[in-house]
Amino acid sequence: MKLLGLLLALISGLFFVIGYVITSKIKNKDKLSYFAISLAFVVMLNLIIFDLIPEVIEIFKGTYFIAILLILGGLGVLKVLDCFIPAHHHEHKDEEDIHEEHNSHVYHIGIVTLISLFLHNIIEGIAIYSLATNNIKLGLFMCIGVALHNIPLGIEIAISLSKERNKKGFNKVLITALALSSLFGALLVSLFGNINELFLGIISCLTLGMIIYLAFFEFLPEIYNNRKHKEIYCGIITGVIIILLSLII
């Protein structure tokens, strides 16, 4: 049962790699970029509303002030990272610079998204392993649900990182680390037993703050600035379909 739990956690994380492979097979990276950003935005809204907020409420019953401070801490962490992660532009001063600035901003989004999702998938790995070792069916269903939203997020991260082609080796290391993050969470439970609920709550709040920052201060401005592209709307519709499928499962 433990081995199955580890395997399911690993499989869920490997679906990020499927997103990476899909990206490598599509030639028009710009159109895919617009599609992936809007798709990932919808998926992140789903994570915020149906995953992280209910989890934080359940863990921090009666101590919401602490939860709010931790969520703000997550927001602050990514804001600070803005100062250290290069290639971050929101302004489009000259028409001829729009394409270059878009690529730079997208790469920045990919890095901060990967950091946030790494933390989030540790939690998902813990949940998948815990469920699978007690009820195989529930563990399998959660694995499928996580895998479904990992594909579009994997596409968004892969297309974002591809904007800096001179960092291919480094980008592959980042994707590999993200793909193994769920397994890392499962290994924590396997090696040390049940994880302290407070520890999970802290990670959940920090992750929630990070993803809120990404969704509304990184993804949303990028979507708005490129709203004239039809791929933006195709991505939103596809994201809604994926969310509905994951909720049914």
CA distance 121 to 126: 8
The pLDDT assigned to 85 comes to: 64
- Total residue count of the chain as it appears in this document: 249
The values of phi and psi at residue 78, to 5°, are -70, -35
Within 8 A by CB and 6+ apart from 139, the residues are: 4, 5, 8, 128, 129, 131, 132, 133
Tokens of residue 213, six digits: 């920052």
The values of phi and psi at residue 108, to 5°, are -60, -45
For the chain, the structural domain boundaries read: 2-248
The pLDDT assigned to 203 comes to: 92
Half-sphere exposure of 72 (CA within 13 A, CB side): 6
The pLDDT assigned to 39 comes to: 93
The pLDDT assigned to 224 comes to: 94
The pLDDT assigned to 17 comes to: 93
117, amino acid identity? L
Answer whether 34's CB lies under 8 Å from 226's CB.
yes
CA distance 71 to 211: 10
The pLDDT assigned to 103 comes to: 65
The pLDDT assigned to 2 comes to: 85
pTM: 0.83
**Which residue ranges of the chain lie beneath pLDDT 50?**
88-96
Answer whether 118's CB lies under 8 Å from 216's CB.
no
